[in-house]
Amino acid sequence: MKLGLLLGFWGEDGPPPRLLETVREAETLGYESVWTSEASGSDALTPLAWVGAHTATMRLGTSIMHMAARAPAATAMAALSLDYYSPYRDAHYRAALAEGAARPGARAAEADFEIVATVPLIVDEDVETAAGRLRGLFARFIGGMGPRGRNFHYDAFARMGYEEVATRVRDLWLEGRAQESAAAVPTAMIEQVALIGPAPKIRDELVEWRRSLLTTLLVHVTPEPAVLRQVAELVLGG
C-alpha cells in the first residue's frame, strides 16, 4: 500500500504553517504522491506547481478540479505545462494529474463562477466588467459545503446509509452553525472512510484496509513531522 499527502485547499487564512517543510519531510519518508483540491479558496493547480518545483520524486495529483471554472483547453494546457516542468518524474505523472477531475453541479457553478454549467462559456464583457466579477469572486471564496440540490459528499454518505445524518450536518452548516455541524458527525461514519485514532487501533484496522481495492492512503497535511513519520512506519513498514 502506498502513501499520499493530501494538501486540500485553503481560504482566507492561507496555507498551513511550514507547508513546504511538511511536503519535503513526507517525500523523505517515502510518501509516493501529493494531492491538491479546490472548492472555494485556493485553486488546485498553482499550489501543485509550487510543490512540484520543490520536490523530486512525488507524483503530483489533483483530487477535485472545478471543470466549470475553466475551459477544457485551459485545463489541458495547465496539465501539459506542469508535465513539461516535471520531466524527472515517472510516466504515471500524467495519470495522477488527471484523476479526480470533477464538474460541480450547475447551481454551484452559477453561484461561484457566474456561468451556466450546461452551456459553453461565451466571453463578451469588456475588461472592467470582467475585473469587477473577479473582485466579487475573490470576496466570496471563503469556505462552503455546497448547495442542497447537489453535493458529492452528501450523496456519497447517503448511499452508505447515513442520509439522515448527512442531511442534518449539511443543514446545520448551511445555517452557519459550523461547530454544531461538526459535532453532529458520528465517529462510526468517519471510520467508514478514514483511519482515525491511536496507533494500535490504526494498525489493527489496516489489516482490513489492505484487503480492500485501495492502493493509496492519503494523509491530510499536518505540520508535525512526527505524525508523518509515525504513519509511514505503520503503513510502509508493513
Does residue 89 share a domain with residue 43? yes
Residue 17 reports pLDDT greater than 50: yes
Does residue 76 share a domain with residue 170? no
Percent of the chain with pLDDT over 90: 29
Does residue 83 share a domain with residue 70? yes
Q: In this predicted structure, what is the pLDDT of residue 126?
A: 41
What is the rounded CA–CA span in Å between residue 56 and residue 68?
A: 31
Report the domain count for the chain.
2
| Other C-beta atoms lying within 10 Å of the C-beta of residue 230 | 14
Q: Categorize the per-residue pLDDT at 226 as very low, low, confident or very high, splitting at 50, 70 and 90.
A: confident
Residue 69: DSSP 8-state: G
What is the rounded CA–CA span in Å between residue 163 and residue 185?
A: 12
Does residue 102 share a domain with residue 125? yes
Q: Categorize the per-residue pLDDT at 97 as very low, low, confident or very high, splitting at 50, 70 and 90.
A: very low
Among 207, 221, 201, which residue's Cα sits nearest to residue 4? 221
Question: Mind listing the pLDDT tens digit for each residue in 61-83?
Answer: 888 777 667 766 677 777 778 87
Does residue 109 share a domain with residue 58? yes
Does residue 117 share a domain with residue 7? yes
Residue 107 reports pLDDT greater than 50: no
Question: Mind listing the pLDDT tens digit for each residue in 163-202?
Answer: 999 999 989 988 889 899 999 999 999 999 999 888 999 9
Does residue 132 share a domain with residue 92? yes
Question: Mind listing the pLDDT tens digit for each residue in 18-66?
Answer: 889 999 999 999 999 999 888 778 888 899 889 888 998 888 888 877 7
| Mean pLDDT across the chain | 76
Q: What is the dihedral of CA 152, 155, 161, 164, to 10 degrees?
A: 110
Q: Categorize the per-residue pLDDT at 6 as very low, low, confident or very high, splitting at 50, 70 and 90.
A: very high
Residue 30 domain boundaries? 2-141+194-236
Question: Torsion-angle region of residue 10: left (phi > 0), alpha (psi -120 to 50) or beta?
Answer: beta
